């Protein structure tokens, strides 16, 4: 797949949010929403902070977008997320009618955008966003590996 310079810039912003999440003790996932080529909202994982299983970066981002836009329909929005969305997040992105999802690191164990499950491409879904993975996957993977290495050591 070929990604644009704009895609790369927006994923870099998502990676910075993943680093912020890691520093806060959260699983390091960051997400940025763009419309018309401009970043319009951003979020990171806040599961521990909010004591909420649904406080994944993508869900936090959708809530912010809904607040900013006054609507739940996101067909003109591209979501950049550092790790492939899980089943919950992929389903929420489909239901929000997000136009495009760009992720970094694939998640073959429980990714919901084609690696393990294909929620975004399931024929029964009423909406099918464009999905592209692998943008800056090495960097996203390094951030996640370093986080879990530190967590396992108890640092």
Which positions are annotated as active-site residues?
Answer: 58
Please report, for residues 52, 67, 115, the alpha-carbon distance to residue 17 in angstroms, rounded to integers and kept in the order given. Answer: 19, 20, 23
Give the CA count within 13 Å in the CB-facing half-sphere of 17: 26
What is the Cα–Cα distance from 82 to 30, expressed in whole angstroms? 6
Query: Which tokens is 153 given?
Result: 């050591």
């Amino acid at each position: 797949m070929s990604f644009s310079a704009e895609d790369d810039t927006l994923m870099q912003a998502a990676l910075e949010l993943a680093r912020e999440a890691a520093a806060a003790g959260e699983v390091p996932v960051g997400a940025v929403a763009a419309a018309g080529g401009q970043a319009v909202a951003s979020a990171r994982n806040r599961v521990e902070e909010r004591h909420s299983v649904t406080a994944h970066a993508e869900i936090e981002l959708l809530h912010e977008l809904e607040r900013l836009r006054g609507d739940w329909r996101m067909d003109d929005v591209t979501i950049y997320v550092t790790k492939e969305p899980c089943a919950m997040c992929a389903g929420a992105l489909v239901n929000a009618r997000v136009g495009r999802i760009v992720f970094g690191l694939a998640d073959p164990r429980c990714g919901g955008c084609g690696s393990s499950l294909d929620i975004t491409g399931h024929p029964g879904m009423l909406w099918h966003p464009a999905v592209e993975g692998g943008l800056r996957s090495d960097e996203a993977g390094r951030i996640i590996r370093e986080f879990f290495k530190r967590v396992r050591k108890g640092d």
